[in-house]
Amino acid sequence: MRTQVAIVGGGPSGLLLGQLLHKQGIDSVVIERRSQAHVLGRIRAGVLEQGLVGLLHQAGVGNRMENEGFLHDGTMIAHEGQMFRIDFAEHTGKSVMVYGQTELTRDLYAARDASEGKTLFEVEDAAIRDAETEKPYLTLTHQGKAMRIDCDFIAGCDGYHGISRKSIPADKRHEYEKVYPFGWLGILSATPPVNDELIYANSERGFALCSMRNDQLSRYYIQCDALDDPDNWNDDDFWDELRRRIPEEAADTLVTGPSIEKSIAPLRSFVTEPMRWGRMFLCGDAAHIVPPTGAKGLNTAASDVHYLFEGLRDFYASGDMQGLDQYSGRALDRVWKTERFSWWFSNLMHRYPDQSAFDQKMQLAELAFLRDSPEAQAAMARSYVGLPY
Ligand code: RFL
Ligand code: PHB
C-alpha cells in the first residue's frame, strides 16, 4: 500500500491531522492498535482552547461541538473554604469550550469515514522503517497478514506508550521527566454539574476538581495515592471525600449518583526533544505529557498538529521544506510554555507527601496573591485559554 502521509495512532492527534490533510487533498492512512470502540470508550479531556476549536472548524467537524459544547468565560479557584473567580473574558477576551474528547474523537471518525479515509484498526507489530531516508515506510500485521505502507512522511501520533518516539535512536533524543507523587481518581456520573463553571479546589485533604461534559453529565476528580486502585473506592466514599474538599456552598448542593466510569490517572510532566527524526514527526502525547491540572494535553497535541499540517501543506504545494524543518523548534517552543503552566498550576493546587509547613504557607500565599492580583489572574487566564499558535 502507498500513501502520502502514514499516521501512526488513531487518537485525536492522528485523526485531526488526517482530516486537515484530507481537506487539502493530501492522502493519509491511519493505523490504530486498538478497536474503534476502545478508542471511543476512553474518558479523557473536556476543555478545548479556541485554537483547537478553530482547527476542528477548519477540518470541517465543528458543527456538533458548536451546538452541544458549552463556552466558559471563567473558572473558580477554591482554597481554605473560600472561592474566587478568574475571568478569562475580562483578562483575555477569550473563552474555552467544554466538549468531551470522546465526542470530538467520534466527530473526527465520522468525518474520516464520510471522506473514505483509510483507517486500519487492531494493527499489530507496527514498526517505523527508514525514517531517516527519503523513502520511509511502515511494516505491520493487519487481520493476520503482514503489510507494508510506503509513504513520503510518517506522523507519530501514537501517544505516550507508542512506538514512534522509541524509533528515534536513544543517543539522538533527550527526555525530560517529572513524576508527581499522586494520581487523580476520576468519575463520570449522569448528574447535573455542581456549578456552571469548573471548580479547582486546593484543600488540606488534597486537590479536587468539579468538571462536566454537559448539563446532565458531570466529571469529578480527587487527588489520590498514585498506587491506589479505583476498586478501593465505592461511589459513596468518593462523594464523601469530594464534599470534604470543596467549599461548603458547593458541597451542600452537590447532586450525587452512580458512577458510569471510574479510573485513576498518574500525573507526569514529560518532554522529548527533538520532535522529528528524518521524515518522522512526533505529535501530541507521543512527544510530551502534562499533568491534567489546567487541561493542556489535548490542546497541546492540537497545536503540534497545526504546525505539522502547515509544514506538510507547504511541502505538497511547492516542495518547500521550511515548515517541516522548523516543525520541532516551533512545536517545542509552545510545548515548554504549556509544560510550565501545567507544572505551576499542579504545584499550586496539590498536597505533597513531603510538604513542610513552610511549603504550605507558600502555596496559600501564592493562592492569595492570585486572588488579589489582576496581573497574576491575567497571566493565569492567558495560559488557560491557550497561548497563540
Ligand atoms: P492518544 O489519545 O493517547 O492516542 C494515541 C493513539 O495511538 C494508539 N497507538 C498505536 N497505534 C498503532 N500502533 C501502535 N504501536 C500504537 N501505540 C499506540 C493508541 O491506541 C491511541 O489510540 O494521544 P493523542 O492523540 O496525542 O491525544 C492526546 C490526548 O489524548 C491527551 O493529551 C489528553 O487526553 C490529556 N488530557 C486532557 N487534555 C486536555 O487538553 N484537556 C483536558 O481536560 C484533559 N483532561 C487528559 C485529561 C488526560 C487524562 N488521562 C486519563 C491521562 C484528563 C485525564 C484524566
Ligand atoms: C475534565 O473535564 O476531564 C478536565 C477538566 C479540566 C482539567 C482536567 C480535566 O484541568
Based on the domain organization, do 56 and 205 belong to the same domain? no
- Residue 77, in any domain of the structure: no
Instruction: Name residues contacting ligand 2 (CB within 6 A).
Output: 45-47, 198, 209, 211, 219, 292-295
As beta bridge partners, residue 82 has 79
Which CATH number is 377's domain given? 3.30.9.10
pLDDT for res 319: 97
Q: For the segment 159-198, what is each residue's pLDDT rounded down to a tens digit?
A: 999 999 999 999 999 999 999 999 999 999 999 999 999 9
- Residue 76, in any domain of the structure: no
Based on the domain organization, do 248 and 299 belong to the same domain? no
274 prior amide bond cis, ω within 30 = yes
Q: Identify which of 204, 221, 19 has the alpha carbon closest to the alpha carbon of residue 108.
A: 19
Based on the domain organization, do 188 and 246 belong to the same domain? yes
71 Cβ closer than 6 Å to some ligand 1 atom? no
Based on the domain organization, do 366 and 325 belong to the same domain? no
pLDDT for res 348: 98
Q: Look up the domain containing 13 and give its range.
A: 5-70+97-177+268-345
Listed as ranges, residues in the chain with pLDDT below 50 are: none
* CA distances in angstroms from 360 to 246, 250, 375, listed in the order given: 18, 24, 23
Report the predicted TM-score, pTM, of the whole model to 2 decimal places.
0.97
The residues annotated with a catalytic role in the active site are: 72, 200, 292, 296, 384
Which CATH number is 109's domain given? 3.50.50.60
Report residue 252 CA to chain centroid gap.
31
pLDDT for res 43: 84
Based on the domain organization, do 164 and 39 belong to the same domain? yes
Based on the domain organization, do 219 and 196 belong to the same domain? yes
Nearest CA to ligand 1 atom 35: 297
Based on the domain organization, do 263 and 148 belong to the same domain? no
Distance between CA atoms of 175 and 273, rounded to whole angstroms?
A: 6
- Residue 273, in any domain of the structure: yes
Classify strands 153-156 and 174-189 as parallel, antiparallel or unpaired. Answer: unpaired
Q: 321 C-alpha vs ligand 2 centroid, how far in Å?
A: 37
Which residues, 6+ apart, have CB-to-CB distance to 171 below 8 Å?
none
- Residue 244, in any domain of the structure: yes
Of the bound ligands, which one is closest to the alpha carbon of residue 217?
A: 2
pLDDT for res 44: 87
Distance between CA atoms of 379 and 337, rounded to whole angstroms?
A: 12
Nearest CA to ligand 2 atom 4: 46
Based on the domain organization, do 261 and 274 belong to the same domain? no
Q: DSSP class of residue 286?
A: G
Q: Ligand 2, closest atom to CA 212?
A: 2
Q: How many domains does the chain have?
A: 2
Cell of 198: 469548573
Based on the domain organization, do 31 and 105 belong to the same domain? yes
Based on the domain organization, do 114 and 143 belong to the same domain? yes
334 Cβ closer than 6 Å to some ligand 1 atom? no
Based on the domain organization, do 262 and 283 belong to the same domain? no
Based on the domain organization, do 238 and 323 belong to the same domain? no
